[in-house]
Amino acid sequence: MTFPNKQYTTIASFIDDYVQQLSNATASINRDKLTAAAKIINDCINQRNWIYTCGNGGSASIANHLLCDYAKCIQTDTTAKPRVVSLSANLEIITAIANDIEYEECFVYQLQTSAQTGDVLVTISASGDSENVVRALNWASRNGLHTISLTGFDGGRSAKIADINLHVNGDNYGVIEDTHQSIMHIIAQYIRQNRMHEKVISKRKF
C-alpha cells in the first residue's frame, strides 16, 4: 500500500502517519550492511583514497551535503583528512557533459577523468534506476572502486550492481530521501565520534 493512499483533511493527522512511515523506513535499514558500508568509508579515509558521490534532484542535494559532512565534519576533533567529491556539485561540468555528450554520462565521465582503483563511489537514488547513476556504478564496479548504493522502492538496478546496497523500505520519495539523509549523517557522525577522544565527545555538538 502506497503512502499517502487517501486524502488528509488535517496536517496533524498527515504528520502522524508520515512519521510512522519514517520510523518503518529507518527500521528497515540492514544493520550488517550499514556496518560494512561504514567500514569501507572509514578504510577509504585511512588509505587516503577518494570518496565520490552522486544523485539527481533531491538526491543530488544529499550528495552535496555528504561532501560537506564527510570532508569537514569528520575532520572536526579528529586526525582524519577525508577526500570527497560530489559529482553532482559542479553545474558547469554537468551541463557541459549533458550538452556536448548526453546527460546520462554526466557522472561516469567525471569518474573516468579522476577516479582510481581503491576509491569509493556512493550513489543516492530513490528508484535505483537513474541511468546516469547506473552507468557510474557499472563503470566503478569494472574499474576497482568500492560501491555503495542508497535506494528505495524496489531498489532498481543500483541495488543489484553495488557491492553494498543500503535499501530503505518505502514508496514515498520524501520518506526515502529523509531516510537516505539520515544514513548519510549516521555514517559520518559514527566515524567522527569513533575517532575522537572519548572525553571530548560530550563537549561537542554533532
| SS3 assignment for the chain | CCCCCCCCCCHHHHHHHHHHHHHHHHHCCCHHHHHHHHHHHHHHHHCCCEEEEEECCHHHHHHHHHHHHHHCHHHCCCCCCCEEEECCCCHHHHHHHHHHCCHHHCCHHHHHHHCCCCCEEEEECCCCCCHHHHHHHHHHHHCCCEEEEEECCCCHHHHHHCCEEEECCCCCHHHHHHHHHHHHHHHHHHHHHHHCCHHHHCCCCC
Task: Answer yes or no: is 19 within a domain.
Answer: no
Q: CB under 8 Å to 12, separation ≥6 — which residues?
A: none
Task: Answer yes or no: is 58 within a domain.
Answer: yes
Q: What is the pLDDT along the chain (206 residues), one digit of tens a residue?
A: 699 999 999 999 999 999 999 999 999 999 999 999 999 999 999 999 999 999 999 999 999 999 999 999 999 999 999 999 999 999 999 999 999 999 999 999 999 999 999 999 999 999 999 999 999 999 999 999 999 999 999 999 999 999 999 999 999 999 999 999 999 999 999 999 999 999 999 999 99
Domain housing 103: 31-196
Domain tally for the chain?
1
Task: Answer yes or no: is 14 within a domain.
Answer: no
Edge-to-edge strand ranges of the sheet holding 164-167: 83-86, 50-55, 120-124, 146-151, 164-167
Give the CATH number, domain containing residue 174.
3.40.50.10490
Task: Answer yes or no: is 147 within a domain.
Answer: yes
pTM to 2 decimal places? 0.96
- How far is residue 101 CA from its own chain's centroid? 26
Per-residue model confidence (pLDDT) at position 182: 98
Task: Answer yes or no: is 12 within a domain.
Answer: no
Task: Answer yes or no: is 72 within a domain.
Answer: yes
Per-residue model confidence (pLDDT) at position 25: 98
Per-residue model confidence (pLDDT) at position 106: 98
Task: Answer yes or no: is 5 within a domain.
Answer: no
Task: Answer yes or no: is 3 within a domain.
Answer: no
Cell triple for 64: 552535496
